[in-house]
Structure 1
């Protein structure tokens, strides 16, 4: 009796498994940490660097009192590294879903960290002319007992919304050390 009950239970479970196994379309998993609440900095830049491979960049780097000019032709991977500050400033993450206030005026979209919220990205300003983005300006501040840094970065786009310039300026102060200043000004030809 018990053996018959066990066999019918096994057949029933096997039947349920076969019924529940149906072929579905293979879809990539959605990233549960990504949201779509703010300007998509990373996606926007990813599209822009696909269009400018092979262009020449002239970059002036100033570190404290020293200055250097370099010219190079970045590929897509080099662009990702070159614009890493901007890629890292994408706030479309679930952890920031309510951390930023958004204001939109004629031609200007601003995401600003709300008072009391934690985050190093303090502000993202997107300047537009009509539907086209003219510039993206990002301000970050990292502050603790031993370390303080502020970085401001700005990407400029031309009339066709292609990357034209990018600039970074920042300073950092480590306790008991002199402050360090860094500036990068780049023109895309």
Structure 2
């Protein structure tokens, strides 16, 4: 996954379908991205694989929470649609003030989705961290990714450019889409 100082949309984006919510209850749905481990990685070209390059210290960056813009919403509404986090932006700028999710390059991460029961005593629209109660958290091994500032493999570069609707500027101008 490419990260930049200015912030770049996460692609592919996290999209989920939920069930089992109370239809009339209000919920916030949020996403954060956490380290998979405390390792730094490097790409080894001759073997086309990622290798551990040492340890890292993630303690300087606390995970930011991205609250879905439709939050809060009823359980009924959330359950009848696909919930997409297509506006989430990732950055490697530790001083970011735009609300982007801050990550370090050459590290492995996994997105987590949080379903948070609405509590009228707390304004969760400006939430900085997860409440102690009323939260269910989900993560999926298939969504783990390694962050880079440039793709390490030409096949991945081609795949991402061909499939990413935000990468139009990188495509051949004579190609039909």
TM-score by length of 1: 0.23
TM-score by length of 2: 0.24
Quick check: which one's helix share is greater?
1
Quick check: which one's strand share is greater?
1
- Rg bigger for which structure? 1
